[in-house]
Structure 1
Amino acid sequence: MSAADTTTPAKVPPPRQAPPPAAWDRPRRPRGSGGAATPWLLLAPCLLVLALVMAYPLVRLVTLSFQKFGQPQLWGFQGATWVGFANFRAVLGDGEFWAVVLRTLVFAAGAVLLTMVLGMAVALLLQRVSPWMKTLVNIVLVASWGMPVIVATTVFKWLFDSDYGILNALLSKLPGVHMIGHNWFASGPQGLAVIMLLVVWGAVPFVVITLGAGLTQVPKELEEAARLDGAGAWGVFRYVTLPILKPIIVMLTTLSVIWDMGVFPQVFVMRGGHPEAEFQVLNTYSYDRAFQVNDYAQGSAIALLTVVLLLGVVAVYMRQMLKIGDVE
């Protein structure tokens, strides 16, 4: 055995254990003024403006709806007297009111459906055109959206005029069509259809621009994967595009319902400030009851019932948004 074999092997020292990592320094909220009160301080100007603009009219509306308030009370010859729910009983027991409610709901449903369908169609088509054409169409949409309601209503009133309307002249050029002198407002359904087109014309640009922005967020990879799986254009839209756009569609639909149920200037101006019975919607009916019949209490009660209906729409919207949040 050699000397090298008889030597004792050197002991290898055990590996040193790494020192425990230092605890991360978590950022601490600075102490001092602010904290939970900061959001309320930032919201204070907006809340103050809302209180000044909306609080007093709303309180006054509720107060009038529980009072007897006509011209004698308006001019100070008599004092306003509380009548409880008498105004609401009179309004809810009137068959004309329910006819107006039904007309308003049908009008709003038709306008919202047409707005959303046309808006979605235009938004999808804009995804397939050249950039310069898309820019041009967006400019036109913004210009039409920014047009004042009174101006747009006056233009539509001229377009559908029975004697000088350009629409009757164009339709009369078709073989077998004679529309010269046709009065589109001779009946309620035809007249409301014209007003519905006016409302849709003013609402479509906002829907197109909003949906166009939402379509840019749809992942192209999902669309390609759906096409590879054999889905057609409708399948891609139904199972890929539509679920992603659902929060935006719910928001736009809710806003459209609120706007279309609250339509007033289009009907008022189109009928020269005196809408006939077959053209009355909730807002014009409330206005006529207050300022034509001079029953401000019942007009306020009708307006308050309209607010309650719109709050129901908002409640449905909030429920849908909460469902979408839970799924995500």
Structure 2
Amino acid sequence: MKGYIIKSLLQVIPVLLLVSLIVFILVRVTGDPVALMLPETATAEDRAVLTEALGLDQPLYKQYITFLGSALQGDFGTSFRYGESALPLVLERLPASFELAVAAMIFAIIMAIPLGILSAVKRNTFTDLLISGISVIGKAMPNFWMGIMLILFFSVMLGALPVSGRGGIEHLLLPAFTLGIGIGAQMTRLVRSSMLEILNQDYILTAKSKGLRPFIIIMKHAFRNGLIPVVTIVGLQFTSLIGGTLITETVFAWPGLGQLLVTAVNTHDMAIVQASVFVIALIVIIGNLLTDISYRLLDPRIRYS
């Protein structure tokens, strides 16, 4: 296990180098940074001075080396919109996105596990068909549409919950439900299929023949052994939620990383975009590593070479 963790951490280096190269190229092809930063009344001399100050008069390979050296020191440039260093701005928004992602994942797990188990136990019954149908509908509904419908019903019509912003738990309910419903629907289907496969195993039949209670058989023997696919999707979806809540955060004006990234893209604030992409990539890598480690904790038979 220790050797696997060290090997995985070493693999982070080439991945981040590749991410840095992609970000560097994308920033250069999306437009002239000088033209974006200067007003329309700027003279050619102003453009030349700023071009030299930003190092854009250097060959591309030198610009990349400079960019990489600054990134290694946590310097992704200064946001011309906020007038501050980009990385602290990104890290300042990260807790809000993390809070929303945790709430959405908790909701998804609370919904998916009991419904998935019930659907598997009641296979091919009306209950199974109902849960499967709801799961398909929940997965098919776009997040932005779900968010708008929730705002119209709970905020506009009933006046029970706030429309937007970050505050107490009442501000968290609607965006968390909007994000969690799709993930929960997907997890429900996965729990069902995993449980169906486990329930047909010989050791489950042996447990039944010993006269164990159905609840013990399902929860202790079946569900525990079917957790690995669930842990996989939880790990992958959670890391994607951190940086993938752009639409939901925009709809609910949630002051997280997603909203910051959308604003940065719209205003061509490339320092924020660069820092955000790096932070999101690092979170995804760490999340995948923790998911792999959890496999070993759930099933000691798993070995890493």
State TM-score, norm by structure 1. 0.62
Structure 2 residue 105 is the aligned partner of structure 1 residue 126: no
Q: What one-letter code is carried by the residue in structure 2 that aligns with 1:183?
A: P
Aligned residue in 1 for 2:105: 112
Q: 1:201 aligns with which of 181, 186, 192?
A: 181
Q: 2:238 aligns with which of 246, 257, 261?
A: 257
Q: Is the 8 A contact 1:104 1:281 kept in 2?
A: yes
Q: Is the 8 A contact 2:144 2:248 kept in 1?
A: yes
How much has 1:210 moved relative to structure 2?
A: 1.0
Structure 2 residue 285 is the aligned partner of structure 1 residue 311: yes
- Kindly tell me: are residues 317 and 69 of structure 1, through their superposed partners in 2, closer, same or farther at Cα, counting changes over 3 Å? farther
Q: Distance in 2 between matches of 1:249 and 1:182?
A: 31
Q: Distance in 1 between matches of 2:184 and 2:94?
A: 24
Aligned residue in 1 for 2:142: 148
Larger Rg over CA atoms? 1
Aligned residue in 1 for 2:21: 59
Q: Distance in 2 between matches of 1:74 and 1:61?
A: 25
How much has 1:314 moved relative to structure 2?
A: 1.4
Q: Is the 8 A contact 1:286 1:300 kept in 2?
A: no
Q: 2:76 aligns with which of 50, 70, 87?
A: 87
Structure 2 residue 245 is the aligned partner of structure 1 residue 280: no
How much has 1:239 moved relative to structure 2?
A: 2.7
Q: What one-letter code is carried by the residue in structure 2 that aligns with 1:210?
A: L
Measured against aligned partners, the alpha-carbon deviations of 1:152-185 in whole angstroms (never above 9, x if no partner) come to: 23222222233xx2xx2xxxxxxxxxxx476343
Q: Distance in 2 between matches of 1:74 and 1:206?
A: 48
Aligned residue in 2 for 1:240: 221
**Structure 2: runs of 5 or more not aligned:** 1-16, 56-65, 79-84
Measured against aligned partners, the alpha-carbon deviations of 1:73-116 in whole angstroms (never above 9, x if no partner) come to: 89994545356243269334x3x543422222222222222212
Q: What one-letter code is carried by the residue in structure 2 that aligns with 1:299?
A: V
- Kindly tell me: are residues 88 and 297 of structure 1, through their superposed partners in 2, closer, same or farther at Cα, counting changes over 3 Å? closer
- Kindly tell me: are residues 237 and 185 of structure 1, through their superposed partners in 2, closer, same or farther at Cα, counting changes over 3 Å? same
Q: Distance in 2 between matches of 1:131 and 1:193?
A: 33
Aligned residue in 2 for 1:218: 198
Bigger helix fraction: 2
Q: Distance in 1 between matches of 2:194 and 2:282?
A: 31
**Structure 1: runs of 5 or more not aligned:** 1-54, 169-179
Q: Is the 8 A contact 1:289 1:298 kept in 2?
A: yes
Q: What one-letter code is carried by the residue in structure 1 that aligns with 2:113?
A: M
Q: Is the 8 A contact 1:65 1:87 kept in 2?
A: no
How much has 1:224 moved relative to structure 2?
A: 5.5
Measured against aligned partners, the alpha-carbon deviations of 1:188-241 in whole angstroms (never above 9, x if no partner) come to: 343332100111112111111111011111245534644676755554344302
State TM-score, norm by structure 2. 0.67
Q: How many residues align?
A: 248
Sequence identity of aligned pairs in percent?
A: 9
- Kindly tell me: are residues 186 and 98 of structure 1, through their superposed partners in 2, closer, same or farther at Cα, counting changes over 3 Å? closer
Q: What one-letter code is carried by the residue in structure 2 that aligns with 1:264?
A: L
Q: Please, what is the CA RMSD of the aligned residues?
A: 3.7
Q: Distance in 1 between matches of 2:144 and 2:266?
A: 21
Q: Distance in 2 between matches of 1:291 and 1:222?
A: 57
After superposing the two structures, state which structure 1 stretch, 76-85 or 111-120, moved more. Answer: 76-85
Q: What one-letter code is carried by the residue in structure 2 that aligns with 1:100?
A: R
- Kindly tell me: are residues 109 and 187 of structure 1, through their superposed partners in 2, closer, same or farther at Cα, counting changes over 3 Å? closer
- Kindly tell me: are residues 110 and 148 of structure 1, through their superposed partners in 2, closer, same or farther at Cα, counting changes over 3 Å? closer
Q: Is the 8 A contact 1:64 1:300 kept in 2?
A: no
Q: What one-letter code is carried by the residue in structure 1 that aligns with 2:115?
A: V
How much has 1:327 moved relative to structure 2?
A: 0.8
Q: 2:162 aligns with which of 136, 160, 183?
A: 183
How much has 1:123 moved relative to structure 2?
A: 0.9
Q: Is the 8 A contact 2:195 2:223 kept in 1?
A: no
Q: Distance in 1 between matches of 2:161 and 2:129?
A: 38
Q: Is the 8 A contact 1:123 1:211 kept in 2?
A: yes
How much has 1:148 moved relative to structure 2?
A: 2.6
